[in-house]
Amino acid sequence: MNALLGLVPIGLAALGWYGLYRLNRRRGWFRIGELIFWDAILLVLVYLVWLRWF
């Protein structure tokens, strides 16, 4: 159970990336490198919130 609990932040960041990807397909705002950059920022923020709560 504890091993699966550690995957939650990565899963949330993956959902965030998918949301950005879908938004970008409609709008065309970002290049792939920018999507990766913002996903990394999102992953760091998710981990900071996750570590604060747990």
Task: Give 28's DSSP letter.
Answer: -
**Is residue 23 within a helix (H) or strand (E), and if so which, with residue range?**
helix 8-27
Q: Record the tokens describing residue 10, joined without a space.
A: 């990565």
Question: What is the C-alpha separation between 29 and 27, in angstroms, rounded?
Answer: 6
Question: What is the C-alpha separation between 39 and 47, in angstroms, rounded?
Answer: 12
Longest Cα separation, the chain: 39
Q: How confident is the model at residue 54 (pLDDT cuts 50, 70, 90)?
A: low
| Structure-token match 């938004």, residue found | 23
Taking 70 as the threshold, does the pLDDT of residue 38 lie above it?
A: yes
Q: How confident is the model at residue 1 (pLDDT cuts 50, 70, 90)?
A: low
